[in-house]
């Protein structure tokens, strides 16, 4: 289905260079500039959500690994973990907030596997923030 | 032609003084107290309060309060939904959403519930601006079935809205024309219809159709199903249309309104959507001429419908 194709492209590795945008007939009328602007907004939205939900942990990416929140958001949106995230309420077994959080934590664990110091610092900070949230 | 009234439509996000906080936000409260008089209909939006599961009790108190407040000036109160995801062709479980909507509507009755036919959630993930549906025959068939199903399950009439198109956040997938797609959808479902002048201009301009060419294209539509027309703040920039929702209406929106109203014989409401106001509830100064002009326009249509009514009785 075309909408599934669109999601595959938008949440894929490099949406703006995805060959399906050029070759697939359902995208023949798609304005690539407008698609790019939409994608930029989508990334910004994910970046804002990550900053809102993970606060200081996001700053740690910058300090520890030289990765800006925008770069982290970009990598996360094309990850397998993000594909499993639902922000709507159609999954009733777990709240979408928890699902988003677990998805991101899994993404961090998988992608930073070889950065032991960073992971230690990240988990310390995350647990400290979590403890503060729980009061 | 029915008598047409002036409506007020408000975007009511949670956690904002201009929307809902624990109850009605103070700025919204002030705005309605100062400006409500003269509006005959009112709608507010049903947005998610948090990222958790949807529960009726999280919304009921605030909705009841706003409904009561709006009932002091408006005779018709509607709900603008944002979770039905009517334009999506991917699996989407509406069961809980419809159940909560019906439970709310039982306590807080609405004339109708409307939502733009768009993709609000793509694969379960919210998007920065709702996308138009995929413009293919199979998507049209799928969305027709979805809307018929939602109409059956909702206890309140559904009004489908022509989706928003804005420069910088909208793009087309598929080959069909969105206006013709939407006309088929309206005809195929026999749903009530809401048209938004900005959304229509957004699509037509994106296709390079302006003025006479645009009006020729808009000529064929099941206009008898239209019950509401939205007028939301917009901006025009070098031929591109931006759906700003900032309260300032374009001359092109008024021209389009003049085109639409005589064709919509069952039109009930022309709605000023998303006025911008300060924390004291005062409409921002630069938007005031737009609202004044809209009020004059609605009065013009009211007078015309009265004239029609009396002339039909005389003859």
Distances (CA, A) of B234 to A34, B84, B172, B254, B272: 18, 25, 20, 12, 12
Query: Of B268, B221, B228, B272, which Cα lies nearest the Cα of B246?
Result: B272
Strand partners, B226: B193
| Res. A89: pLDDT tops 90 | no
| Res. A67: pLDDT tops 80 | yes
Residues with Cβ within 8 Å of residue B203, at least 6 apart in sequence: B132, B162, B165, B178, B179
In this complex, the residue of B52, B119, B135 whose CB is nearest that of residue A95 is B52
Partner B contacted by A52 (CB < 8 A): no
| Res. B178: pLDDT tops 90 | yes
Pairing of the two strands B5-10 and B269-273: parallel
A17-57 per-position pLDDT tens digit: 999 999 999 999 999 999 999 999 999 999 999 998 888 89
Q: Which of residues 86-125 of A touch B (CB under 8 A)?
A: 86-92, 95-97, 100
- The shortest C-alpha distance from A92 to chain B (Å) reads 7
What b/e readout covers B160-188, taking b as 16+ CB neighbours within 10 angstroms?
bbbbbbbbbbbbbbbebbbbebbbbbbeb
Partner B contacted by A49 (CB < 8 A): no
In this complex, the residue of B96, B124, B173 whose CB is nearest that of residue A86 is B124
Partner B contacted by A41 (CB < 8 A): yes
- The shortest C-alpha distance from B80 to chain A (Å) reads 17
User: Tell me, what's the pLDDT at B309?
Assistant: 60
Q: What is the ipTM of this complex?
A: 0.91
B252-303 per-position pLDDT tens digit: 999 999 999 999 999 999 999 999 999 999 999 999 999 999 999 999 998 8
Chain A residues inside the 8 Å CB shell of B138: 1
Backbone angles phi, psi at B196, to 5 degrees: -115, 125
Check if the beta carbon of residue B279 is closer than 8 Å to that of residue B237.
Answer: no
In this complex, the residue of A27, A83, A92 whose CB is nearest that of residue B173 is A27
- The shortest C-alpha distance from A116 to chain B (Å) reads 31
Check if the beta carbon of residue A112 is closer than 8 Å to that of residue A119.
Answer: yes
Query: Of B303, B285, B307, which Cα lies nearest the Cα of B295?
Result: B303
Rounded to an integer, the average pLDDT of B67-93 is 97
């Amino acid at each position: 289905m075309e909408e599934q194709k669109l999601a595959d492209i938008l949440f894929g590795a490099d949406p703006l260079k995805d060959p399906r945008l050029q070759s697939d007939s359902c995208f023949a009328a798609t304005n690539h500039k407008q698609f790019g602007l939409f994608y930029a907004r989508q990334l910004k939205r994910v970046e804002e959500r990550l900053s809102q939900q993970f606060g200081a942990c996001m700053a740690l990416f910058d300090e520890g690994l030289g990765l800006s929140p925008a770069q982290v958001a970009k990598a996360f949106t094309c990850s397998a973990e993000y594909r499993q995230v639902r922000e709507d309420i159609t999954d009733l077994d777990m709240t979408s907030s928890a699902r988003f959080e677990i998805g991101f934590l899994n993404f961090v664990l998988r992608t930073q596997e070889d950065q032991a110091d960073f992971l230690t610092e990240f988990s310390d900070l995350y647990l400290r923030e979590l403890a503060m949230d729980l009061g | 032609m029915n008598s047409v009234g002036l409506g007020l439509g408000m975007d009511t996000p949670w956690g904002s003084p201009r929307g809902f906080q624990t109850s009605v936000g103070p700025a919204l409260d002030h705005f309605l107290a100062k400006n409500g008089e003269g509006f005959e209909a009112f709608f507010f939006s049903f947005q998610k309060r948090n990222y958790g599961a949807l529960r009726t009790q999280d919304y009921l108190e605030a909705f009841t309060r706003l409904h009561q407040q709006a009932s002091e000036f408006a005779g018709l109160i509607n709900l603008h939904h944002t979770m039905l995801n009517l334009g999506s062709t991917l699996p989407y479980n509406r069961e809980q959403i419809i159940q909560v909507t019906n439970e709310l509507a039982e306590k807080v009755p609405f004339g109708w519930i409307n939502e733009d036919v768009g993709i609000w959630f793509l694969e379960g993930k919210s998007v920065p601006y709702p996308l138009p549906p995929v413009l293919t025959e199979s998507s049209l068939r799928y969305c027709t079935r979805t809307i018929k199903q939602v109409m059956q399950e909702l206890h309140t009439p559904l009004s489908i809205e022509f989706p928003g198109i804005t420069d910088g956040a909208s793009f087309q997938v598929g080959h069909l024309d969105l206006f013709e797609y939407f006309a088929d959808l309206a005809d195929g479902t026999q749903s009530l219809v809401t048209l938004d002048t900005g959304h229509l201009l957004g699509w037509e301009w994106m296709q390079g159709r302006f003025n006479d060419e645009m009006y020729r294209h808009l000529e064929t539509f099941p206009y008898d199903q239209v019950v509401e027309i939205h007028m939301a703040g917009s901006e025009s920039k070098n031929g591109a249309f931006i759906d700003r929702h900032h309260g300032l209406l374009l001359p092109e929106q008024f021209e389009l309104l003049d085109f639409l109203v005589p064709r919509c014989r069952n039109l009930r409401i022309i709605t000023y959507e998303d006025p911008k106001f300060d924390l004291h509830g005062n409409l921002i100064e630069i938007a005031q001429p737009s609202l004044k002009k809209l009020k004059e326009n609605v009065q013009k249509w009211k007078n015309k419908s009265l004239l029609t009514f009396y002339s039909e009785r005389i003859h």
